[in-house]
Each structure stands twice: as C-alpha cells, then as structure tokens.
C-alpha cells in the first residue's frame, strides 16, 4: 500500500499563474481532505470530498480556489491566479470512512514568486 500520494512535492509559480495539486488516496479510501499549513503553524482545513462530491468546503477561500475528486483519477486542488499569500504546504489526507482513520500525504510545497 503506497499510502497517500501527492504530487508534485514542490511547485513554484509566478504570481498570476495557476497551480494544480494532485492527491491519490490510499487504496480503499473514498474520503479525501485538503489542508493548508503556513510556516510554524498547524494545519487548517480547506475541503472534504468524496468521489464526485464536495461534502464540506467551509475552509476554502471564496475565490480562486477549487477542488474536485472525479470518479476516476486523483483529487485535484486548483488555485487560479496565485498570489504570494498562497505560498504554503498543502496536505491531502484520506480515510476509509467519515471522520476517522486519517492518513496524510507528504504534502505539496507551493512557492509563489
């Protein structure tokens, strides 16, 4: 079991570009969560998805951010027109059922220059 796979590990984008972060959950896990971590801080919840459904997006910024978890393929966190404040580590977690058994990936570190 390869665990939760995130790619790329590091991503550099210029202001105004788009960033696409991918997350493949553990085998058998159908629940995916995205979190953002600023330096020296804890993780902040962004969005919770199941296959083809967004369950809770209460932590997502209203603009520029979107997430999907299609029937086939990885979950995608998309940030349009990135700004310097988007620079952070973005972690994906998956679980076999709601609210428990989380396993985190190694994260994608986004740097906006």
Partner 1 sequence: GESVGLHLPTLSVQEGDNSIINCAYSNSASDYFIWYKQESGKGPQFIIDIRSNMDKRQGQRVTVLLNKTVKHLSLQIAATQPGDSAVYFCAETSNYGGSQGNLIFGKGTKLSVKP
Size of the site for partner 1 (CB under 8 A): 27
Stretch that binds partner 1, among 13-21, 68-76, 77-85, 103-111 (CB under 8 A): 103-111
What are the angstrom distances between the C-alpha of 27 and each of 1, 21, 80, 95?
Answer: 7, 19, 29, 10
Question: Of 4, 67, 82, 112, which lies in the binding site for partner 1, with binding defined by CB under 8 A?
Answer: 4
E-only strand ranges, 8-99: 10-13, 19-24, 31-37, 43-50, 53-56, 65-68, 75-79, 88-95
Question: Of 8, 15, 41, 51, which lies in the binding site for partner 1, with binding defined by CB under 8 A?
Answer: 41
* Residues between 9 and 38 with contacts to partner 1, criterion CB under 8 A: 31, 33, 35
Pair 93, 35: CB distance under 8 Å: yes
- 69 interacts with partner 1 by CB under 8 A: no
Q: Whole-angstrom Cα distance, residue 49 to residue 67?
A: 8
Six-digit token string for 105: 């990936």
Stretch that binds partner 1, among 14-22, 56-64, 68-76, 77-85 (CB under 8 A): 56-64
Stretch that binds partner 1, among 12-20, 42-50, 68-76, 77-85 (CB under 8 A): 42-50
């Amino acid at each position: 079991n390869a665990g939760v796979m995130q790619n790329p590990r590091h991503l550099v984008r210029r202001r105004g570009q788009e960033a696409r972060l991918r997350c493949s959950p553990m085998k058998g896990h159908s629940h995916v969560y995205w979190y953002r971590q600023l330096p020296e801080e804890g993780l902040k919840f962004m969005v919770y998805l199941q296959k083809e459904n967004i369950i809770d997006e209460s932590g997502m910024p209203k603009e520029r951010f979107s997430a999907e978890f299609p029937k086939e393929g990885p979950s995608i966190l998309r940030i349009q027109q990135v700004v310097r404040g988007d620079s952070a580590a973005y972690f994906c977690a998956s679980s076999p059922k709601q609210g428990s058994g989380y396993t985190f990936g190694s994260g994608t570190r986004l740097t906006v220059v």
